[in-house]
Amino acid sequence: MIVKTHETKNGVIVAVVDKDILGQKFEENDLQLDLASNYYKGELKTIDEVGDLIRNAYGVNIVGEQSIRLAIEEGIITEEMIKKIKNIPYYQGTSDLI
């Protein structure tokens, strides 16, 4: 998984994306996942590293099957919270929503 952290005044937002879809753009109706943007271009991390980062984040932006599965396993999100664009699962939210 590729991870990039973003500092905000409220805390760290962690962007996580599956390595195999990084650099792609998915559009459906008026919705878009732009995984080619610099927002997602981070570093390759292990599952344990990603788990630690998302558990301690103020907010998360998680895209892809593997990344979403990890967030569910870590108790960060539930199946009901997942949305999809072009069949790509994603979740965006802050700690007050999760």
CATH number, domain with residue 50: 3.30.1860.10
Q: Residue 86 domain-assigned? A: no
**Nearest partner of 25 among 15, 16, 14, 34, judged by Cα:** 34
Q: Residue 92 domain-assigned? A: no
Q: Residue 94 domain-assigned? A: no
Q: What percent of the chain has pLDDT over 90?
A: 95
pLDDT of residue 97 exceeding 60, the answer is no
Domain that holds residue 16: 2-76
Q: Residue 96 domain-assigned? A: no
How is residue 47 annotated by DSSP? Answer: H
pLDDT of residue 81 exceeding 90, the answer is yes
Structural domains in the chain (count): 1
Q: Residue 27 domain-assigned? A: yes
Q: Residue 18 domain-assigned? A: yes
Contact between residue 15 and residue 6 where contact means Cβ atoms under 8 Å apart = yes
The reply to whether the predicted model has a pTM over 0.75 is yes
Q: pLDDT of 17-43, one tens digit each?
A: 999 999 999 999 999 999 999 999 999
Task: Give the pair of three-digit tokens for residue 87.
Answer: 């069949």
E-assigned strands of the chain?
Answer: 2-8, 11-17, 25-28, 31-34, 43-44, 59-63, 83-85, 88-94
